[in-house]
Amino acid sequence: MATREPGGRAQSGRSRRDEEIDEAPAAEASAEAAERHEKLSEDVDDLLDEIDSVLEENAEEFVRGYVQKGGQ
């Protein structure tokens, strides 16, 4: 596929499968990803607690009752 270089912009951190990737930036990128991932999952528990407090009662009935006429 065409890989026209976009005006000499830095390409670091990109993980295109058809580009050579230096090992160091790749490791750095995955460490950064792992760190961000961890922070996000710590957050998820609080998040779900909060979402639980606003979710509609009786999920089955609520979801079943949501019936639409088709549109465009």
By CB under 8 A, is residue 1 in contact with other proteins? yes
Q: Establish if 42 lies at the interface with other proteins (CB under 8 A).
A: no
Shortest distance in whole angstroms from residue 58 CB to other proteins: 9
Could you say whether residue 23 binds other proteins (CB under 8 A)? no
| CB-count exposure of residue 21 (10 Å: 0-12, 13-18, 19+) | middle
User: Given candidates 4, 20, 23, 24, which one binds other proteins under the rule CB under 8 A?
Assistant: 4
CA 51 to chain centre: 19
| Rounded CA separation 26/37 (Å) | 16
Q: Tell me the two tokens of residue 46.
A: 């609080």
Contact assessment for residue 46 and residue 29, using Cβ atoms and an 8 Å cutoff = no
Binding residues vs other proteins (CB under 8 A)? 1-7, 9, 13-18, 29-30, 33, 36-37, 40, 43-45, 47-48, 50-51, 54-56, 59-60, 62-63, 65-72
